[in-house]
Structure 1
Amino acid sequence: MADSPHRSVLVIGGGTSGNALTVLLRRAGTAVDLVEASPDWKAAAGSGITLQGNALRVLREVGVLADVEKDGYAAEGVAVLAPDGTVLHAHDEFRTGGDDLPAHIGMQRPRLQQLLIGMVGTSGADVRLGTTATAFAQDDEGVDVTFSDGTTRRYALVVGADGLGSTTRGMIGITDRPEPTGMGIWRAPAPRPAGVRRTEMIYGGRCFIAGYCPTSEDTVYTYLVEPARDRATLDPAGLADEMRALCENYGGAWPELRAAFTDPSAVNYTWFDRLLVEGPWHRGRVVLVGDAAHCCPPTFAQGAAMSLEDVQVLAELLTGLDRWDAGALDRILTDYHARRLPRVRRVVDASVQLAQWLLEGRRDADVPGLIRRTLTALKELP
């Protein structure tokens, strides 16, 4: 058996949560290896991301907030529009990260990934790309991990930050799987039309939601939400054409945005999924964070925030732990789950409820009340 791993951590997955956790643990002096299945982790998928205040609160601790503010776009509130582009209602947003942070910043997702990669690179973590974990062998003192390149290393703790399709989740015997909610979403980047300085959404028309969020001084990301389609029937070469067809009758900024949908490779189509692992998020010395443990429709734009809060809480608990023996780690990981589950459940349930109301065409639903209750609760520290 290999030597005692002391305070060493393996992070599986080099996305938002895995990178942020790596930086926070390295800052506390913990030895961290990070493995990422993709050989090119700079090529982050996705056109844009909305970072709510509680996500910004964690990114400030990670050390990238200044660059996020510089490279992203702090939107000037939210507006709901009629299909013809008429503004029906505009309002300021809840500042879920506190009054000293923007309500939300939109930014290009690949740029956020680059910022986090930069922090990982200077943290001193050992990073291996194009590598996956294929087996775990645990005992009371550590975890022997076998990797796809045939090597084996020993760690005190393994963290599965490998997303919605997490292999770590299945490898430790957690049988929960994502479930589709019945909705699909089209996303694409576009140049920012003059005058678009806030997130704007249309409820109705051909789509449930047609919206866009500024992601820089020059760009926005757009999204169209509709009933889920069989993804196997979609022609990759026709994705831009389909997105143009979906928004052709919308007014306001949409005619200008529609003209920008010309590159099918820039269009992304996915389903809305729901996942919440209700039971423990760990088995022995292997624990899940972020989308590996929970995900929800992006109706509240809280996916990244919930994942970032996970790693902040986990890093805080691990940093305060004097001894990493089996009993102490089990108590910490149980505490982590107890702190995160009620908050995550609130967001998952509210996000799914809002999506369900849209599917059902509920005109009498208390959407403002649901939003107010959910976002007000998120102002409290996790």
Structure 2
Amino acid sequence: MPAVSSVAVIGGGVAGFATAVLLAEAGVAVDLVEAQPDVTALGSGITLQGNALRLLRRLGVWEQVRRAGYCFDSIGLRLPSGELLAEVSDTRTGGPDLPATAGMYRPDLARLLADRAVALGVKVRTGTSPTSLAQDVDGVDLLFSDGSGGRYDLVAGADGVRSWTRGAMGIELETRATGMGIWRAFTPRPASVTRTELCYGGVAHIAGYCPTGEDSLYAYLVEDAQDRSALSPAEKLAAMRELAEQYQGPWIEIRARLVDADRVHYTWFETHLLDGPWHRGRVVLIGDAAHCCPPTLAQGAAMALEDAAVLAELLLAADDLDDRLWSSFTARRLERVRTVVDASLHIGRMVAAGDQSGVPELMNRVSTLVSEPA
């Protein structure tokens, strides 16, 4: 019998819905609450490495991801002039029967996971957030903003970088900016773009793009972090186009398609890692609530999915929610995630310093690590 029979998941991102799906498949009653009015995530594209695809297959949505997204097995490196420097075969970290990478529109992935959860009986409530949490040795009591409440065997806080759950657990965790900001845009895909390609240097630290579907593309430009909050949508579009003008090759076609101000976003890179157990009693943190880092390795979604898979595996295999279970969870997640976070930050520092000579070795080291299931 599983260690839990009822679970509340706080947060409707990748980690939250993956946890809900895996537990509901095994007959656990799951309530999921999401503060936003809809589960279609904000943002543009998402890059899914092979180890993420392996888990999306486990969740039963791989075929839908394959059809909706864009799969590829190599990465290109270019100069600002557009000249192709190198074409590198990417590691199939999910195994030989899956592509190395898939790009996808982030809201589409959110909807696929939500639909899968609902089909398995997960009770999903959007526009709802927790307001209080109290636990004892037998369970956790939650109250919600809609006036309802419930008692659960476990609460999983998958509510992101600014996690309410983390605060309710009494955990103080500093989230710091890394010094870089990123422009992101979702645009139509030129036929010439068939994989992720990166340019290190020029007016931006990184200029890159990733195909996310037959007709769509995720483009991004990384600069020194600036306060762009006062810019109107039209001004943000103009600023991204101005940076993009310094890059040639496929960027010429991409820039011509940068016309929708509502699909341009700017955020700072941030990082934190909860260094120690991610649980307190019967409440546990997963995904960005416990760890976040710059997307320089494109492992954010994969680490969140791994958190969910390991947690669900342990909960379903154990009879009790005891110290042995939590020790196993910490042992299987903390150091693996630390390696990814540290490597992501180190790549950012190398790029900021203008020396990318160590980037390929670091990427290969992480690829070797994540090729082994968590």
Shorter-chain TM-score tier: over 0.9
Match of 1:22 among 20, 23, 35: 20
Q: Which residue of 1 aligns with 2:319?
A: 322
Structure 2 equivalent of residue 9 of structure 1: 7
Q: Give the distance between the partners of 1:6 and 1:251, measured in 2 at CA.
A: 55
Q: Is the 8 A contact 2:4 2:28 kept in 1?
A: no
Displacement after TM superposition at 1:273 (Å): 0.8
Aligned counterpart, 1:221: 218
1:342 to 2:339 alignment: no
For 2:20, the aligned partner's letter is: T
How many residue pairs were aligned?
Answer: 372
Corresponding residue to 1:248 among 233, 245, 249 = 245
Q: Offset at 1:244?
A: 0.3
Alignment partners' CA distance in 2, 1:231 and 1:339: 39
SS at match of 1:80: strand
Secondary structure of 2:262 counterpart? helix
Structure 1: runs of 5+ lacking an equivalent: none
* Counterpart Cα distance in 2 of 1:284 and 1:8: 15
Aligned to 2:368: 376
Letter in 2 for 1:338: A
Take 1:268 and 1:291, find their aligned partners in 2: how far apart are those partners? 19
Structure 1 contact 76–197 (Cα < 8 Å) conserved? no
1:335 offset after TM fit, Å? 1.7
Q: Deviations over 1:235-265 (max 9, x none)?
A: 3331110110011021101111111112221
Q: What is the CA-CA distance between 1:73 and the residue it aligns to?
A: 0.6
**Deviation at residue 76 of structure 1 after TM alignment:** 3.9
Give, in whole Å, the separation in 1 of the partners of 2:37 and 2:176. 28
Query: Whole-Å Cα distance in 2 between the matches of residues 263 and 379 of structure 1?
Result: 38
* Secondary structure of residue in 2 paired with 1:70: helix
Q: Distance in 2 between matches of 1:65 and 1:116?
A: 10
Residue 136 of structure 1, CA deviation: 1.0
Identity %: 55
Q: Structure 2 unaligned segments of length 5 or more: list them.
A: none
Write the deviation string for residues 133-191 of structure 1: whole angstroms up to 9, x where unpaired.
11111111001111112222100000000011111111101101321100000000111
TM-score, structure 2 as length reference = 0.97
Aligned mates of 1:112, 1:370 — CA distance in 2? 28
1:213 Cα deviation from its structure 2 partner = 0.5
The Cα offsets for residues 176-225 of structure 1, whole Å up to 9 and x where unpaired, read as: 13211000000001111122111111111110110101111111100000
- Find 2:129's aligned residue among 128, 132, 145: 132
Give the partner amino acid of 1:11: V
Q: TM-score normalised to the size of structure 1? A: 0.95
Q: State the secondary structure of the residue aligned to 1:215.
A: strand
Written as runs of structure 1 = structure 2, the 5 A alignment for 1:36-115 is: 36-42=34-40, 44-115=41-112
Report the alpha carbon displacement of residue 6 of structure 1 after superposing the two structures with TM: 6.0
Summarize deviations over 1:29-56 as a string: whole Å, max 9, x none. Answer: 11100001011223x1111000000001
Distance 1:331 1:272 in 2: 35
Q: Distance in 1 between matches of 2:59 and 2:112?
A: 10
Name the counterpart of 2:359.
367
Q: RMSD in angstroms over aligned alpha carbons?
A: 1.3
1:149 and 2:146 are equivalent in the alignment = yes
Q: Which amino acid aligns with 2:184?
A: R
Q: Is the 8 A contact 2:4 2:154 kept in 1?
A: no
- Could you tell me whether the CA contact under 8 Å between 2:279 and 2:326 is conserved in 1? yes
**One-letter identity of the residue aligned with 1:332:** L
